[in-house]
Amino acid sequence: MSHTSIREVSGSRRRTVLLAGLASIFTTVLPFATGGALAEQARAERVLAIGGAVTEIVYALGEQDRLVGRDSTSTYPPEATALPDVGYIRALSPEGVLSVKPDLILTRENNGPREAVEVLKSTGVRWVDVPDDFTLEGIDENIAIIARELGVVDKGEALKAKVAADIAKAREHLASVDKKLRVMFVLALTDDKINTSGTNTAASHIIELAGAENVIAEFEGYKQISNEAVIDAAPDVILMMNGRGATADHAAMNALIEAHPALSTTPAVKNSRIVRMDGLLMLGFGPRTGEAITQLAKALYGHEH
């Protein structure tokens, strides 16, 4: 970053000015985008949900009639896809977001790009970041924040209790697991390069909640690892997201995995233990987390668990 050119800085400034100008135009034409205490006190009736779990929570609270839009990661429940799509959570634009005329924007905090988000926050439309905390405590906090913003705190308490009960039921049989399976979550396999999950990720946490062990503990987040590291890890199971579109050919992906110089040596591949789940269900850490734990535990340990 220290070698950033004057041209790059100038271009960045121009983009910021342009975005600010667009925001100013939208703010002028949106009578409710006035900011201040009034915007915070008024009941939000035009809610934009950004982030799959955020949208799911709004539906689970029974407040979906107030939704005027969603982002492209919000694909559940299926009826949510009928809402206007304002774009991908990390590639938002002021034009797209403000086109649905929201008076409240609820978004998972891994949103972007930064310049566009800063401009959107300056318009006066209430913007609420919901933490990316992929833990049981994080689910509680997300529900509480969204319920409070929607003015349905009692519904939030009821939903938290339901989700906690679902998760407890999903995990009640895991004490009988004699030996934890060692699982490697593969985020992507491109040109023989493996991108996998370390610690402190949604993938790592769901693996642990399902009674298994994440084999990669040397780093946090999602990173590319060497073939040697894969061979040393020797996972019992490879866990992946279900593919969509061009990546939905599981037979072809299995063939790539089986031919991979490192993955092919693992007990997972030798024993044909490749597990796939819906990505939003598995990694969303929303109201369906109990269902996600149940599905994964069943895939890992069989019907008795």
Domain that holds residue 124: 6-167
Task: Say whether both 116 and 216 belong to one domain.
Answer: no
Q: d(Cα 276, Cα 251) in Å, to the nearest integer? A: 12
Query: 167, 194, 212 — which closes off a domain?
Result: 167
- Is residue 5 over pLDDT 50? no
Query: 146, 167, 188 — which closes off a domain?
Result: 167
Task: Say whether both 190 and 156 belong to one domain.
Answer: no
Task: Say whether both 40 and 160 belong to one domain.
Answer: yes
Structurally, the chain folds into a number of domains equal to 2
Comparing 195 with 7, the larger pLDDT belongs to: 195
Q: Which CATH number does the domain housing residue 16 bear?
A: 3.40.50.1980
Give the pLDDT of residue 302. Answer: 86
Task: Say whether both 24 and 119 belong to one domain.
Answer: yes
Task: Say whether both 145 and 206 belong to one domain.
Answer: no
Q: Is residue 172 part of a domain?
A: no
Mean pLDDT of 79-84: 98
Mean pLDDT of 12-23: 50
Contact predicate 124/105, CB 8 Å: no
Q: d(Cα 40, Cα 58) in Å, to the nearest integer? A: 18
Comparing 304 with 145, the larger pLDDT belongs to: 145
Q: Is residue 138 part of a domain?
A: yes
Give the pLDDT of residue 159. Answer: 98
Task: Say whether both 158 and 197 belong to one domain.
Answer: no
Q: Is residue 249 part of a domain?
A: yes
Give the pLDDT of residue 175. Answer: 82
Task: Say whether both 147 and 190 belong to one domain.
Answer: no
- Is residue 1 over pLDDT 70? no
For residue 160, what are its two tokens? 């938290």
Q: Is residue 173 part of a domain?
A: no
Entry pTM: 0.84
DSSP states of 221-262 as a string? SEEEE-HHHHHHH--SEEEEEPP-GGG--HHHHHHHHHH-TT
Give the pLDDT of residue 42. Answer: 72
Q: Is 290 exposed, middle or buried (0-12, 13-18, 19+ CB in 10 A)?
A: buried
Question: Could you tell me the end-to-end alpha-carbon distance of the chain, in angstroms, rounded to an integer?
Answer: 50
For residue range 153-210, list pLDDT tens digits in order: 999 999 999 999 999 999 998 888 889 999 999 999 988 899 999 999 999 999 999 9
Q: Is residue 223 part of a domain?
A: yes
CA atoms within 13 A on the CB side of 304: 5
Residue from 232, 191, 190, 197 nearest 213 by CA: 197
Give the pLDDT of residue 303. Answer: 52
Residue from 152, 139, 45, 153 nearest 101 by CA: 45
Please, where are the H alpha helices in the chain? 6-29, 36-41, 52-60, 94-98, 114-121, 136-150, 153-171, 202-209, 227-233, 250-259, 267-270, 279-283, 289-301
Contact predicate 134/51, CB 8 Å: no
Q: What is the mean pLDDT of the chain?
A: 88
Q: Is residue 183 part of a domain?
A: yes
Task: Say whether both 189 and 128 belong to one domain.
Answer: no
Query: 125, 145, 167 — which closes off a domain?
Result: 167
Task: Say whether both 87 and 220 belong to one domain.
Answer: no
Between the CA of residue 249 and those of 190, 233, 246, 277, what are the distances in Å? 15, 26, 7, 14
Give the pLDDT of residue 252. Answer: 80
3-state secondary structure 84-119: CECCCCCCCCHHHHHCCCCCEEEEECCCCCHHHHHH
Mean pLDDT of 261-286: 96
Q: Is residue 125 part of a domain?
A: yes
Task: Say whether both 114 and 205 belong to one domain.
Answer: no
